[in-house]
Amino acid sequence: MTAPQKTTATVRRAPAIAVKSLIADCLAAAGAPREDAETVAALMTEADLTGADAHGVFRLPQYARRLKAGGFNRTPTIRVERTAPATALVDGDNGMGHLVVKRAAATAIALARETGVAWVGVRGSNHAGSAGLYAEMPVAHGMVGLYSAVASANHMAVWGGNELLLGTNPLAVAVPTGAGPMVLDMATTVVSYGTIKKHVLQGLPMPEGWLIDRETGEPITDPAQSGRGLLLPIGGYKGSGLALMLGVLAGVLNGAAFGRDCVDFNADDTSVTNTGQFVVAIDVARFVGLDRFVAEVDRHVADLRATGRMQGVDAIRLPGDRRRECRAEREASGIPLPEALIVQLDKVAAEFSVTPVFSR
């Protein structure tokens, strides 16, 4: 597919506090309790600060629309059932995913303090934004964190197929280091569907290797044709297999949606999605002293950074590097917002009679 010629977008920067307050005000005006709106806004803003642009304020128009339409339960009763000493199941009552998974992470941390390791499954949830947010939560408590989810829409086929039966099903792993959490946060597709949506919004062409046409198998680079496409898995059949297994663990194991049962929340503002997720917390001190673990991780990280480099590589970058750099730069300079997104945010602000982001 021939892509449009536009390759750049005008970007303005907004202070994180302005972005956070805009999100909270809009979600509250759309029907969320103020405390819940503030919680979700903080997590969405953290996604923006750490460079997960497809999971921050970019999602506000969609979340506000779904709240207004009744697709989210505005006042959920989130229930936690401890099913064994080290396991629990959280039923989100169709609440906003950020609220549900934050509760799951807190539950996993509490159980791991008692038992050393905890696995908490989630059902009745919704899209929760950046996976790294939740894997990172146990790290502040001297733990390793893992998170995965059944993506809130299917955009990938099983290897060799052409039907949308698998999601981008993310995986995030976080460990403590002396420089802060080392966080691997990845979709099981080459890019997340949120990245595709960003390109569609801004009219930016996509490189070959992200999407292929469902019928012909030809590469799609024109964002206007993205609806015809399949996202490609990382590592070929390996990425497809990983998405399948994570979907079973986050979905089927918890009584949540998977495969044909998944609701595309991008296109449906009212149906219950029954999104599944899981959070795992591992208390490092149950295996080796936390200080020793951090020192050993730091030693190995130093070895990796000092390794010989391929021609043209100026530095070895590891998981978490971009998050830390991005956060420091954006706290100082503001969160970058493309003009096309600003137009959408101003429209949402006007709809709910709240102050636009650049007037705060």
pLDDT of 289 over the 60 cut? yes
* pTM check: above 0.75: yes
Q: What helix, strand, coil percent values describe the chain, rounded to 5? A: 45, 20, 35
pLDDT in tens, 233-259: 999 999 999 999 999 999 999 999 999
Whether residue 42 contacts residue 34, with contact meaning beta carbons closer than 8 Å, is answered with no
Using alpha carbons only, what angle is made at residue 146 by residues 181 and 275, rounded to the nearest 5 degrees? 130
pLDDT of 194 over the 90 cut? no
Whether residue 283 contacts residue 112, with contact meaning beta carbons closer than 8 Å, is answered with yes
Coil/strand/helix, residue 42: helix
Please name the residue that has the structure tokens 């697709």. 71
| Helix 321-333 and helix 34-49, axial crossing angle in degrees, nearest 10 | 110
Give 5's pLDDT tier (boundaries 50, 70, 90).
Answer: very low
pLDDT reported for residue 301: 97
How far are the Cα atoms of 121, 139, 288 from residue 109, in angstroms, in the given order?
13, 9, 18
pLDDT in tens, 195-217: 898 888 888 899 999 999 999 99
pLDDT of 3 over the 80 cut? no
Query: What is the distance between the alpha carbons of residues 206 and 228, in angstroms, rounded to a whole number?
Result: 14
What is the side-by-side strand order in the sheet with 275-283? 79-84, 87-91, 117-125, 275-283, 143-149, 171-175, 182-186
What's the token pair of residue 288? 């080796």
Can you give the three-state secondary structure of 295-319, one letter per residue?
Answer: HHHHHHHHHHHCCCCCCCCCCCCCC
Q: Which of 190, 191, 214 is closest to 1 using CA atoms?
A: 214
Give 309's pLDDT tier (boundaries 50, 70, 90).
Answer: very high
What's the token pair of residue 175? 């460990």
Q: What does the pLDDT average to over 121-147?
A: 98
pLDDT reported for residue 9: 63
Q: What does the pLDDT average to over 36-50?
A: 98
pLDDT reported for residue 335: 98
- Between 3 and 299, the more confident residue is 299
How many CB atoms lie under 10 A from the CB of residue 300?
11
Please name the residue that has the structure tokens 């202070």. 15
Coil/strand/helix, residue 325: helix
Query: What is the distance between the alpha carbons of residues 30 and 282, in angstroms, rounded to a whole number?
Result: 37
pLDDT in tens, 323-360: 999 999 999 999 999 999 999 999 999 999 999 999 99
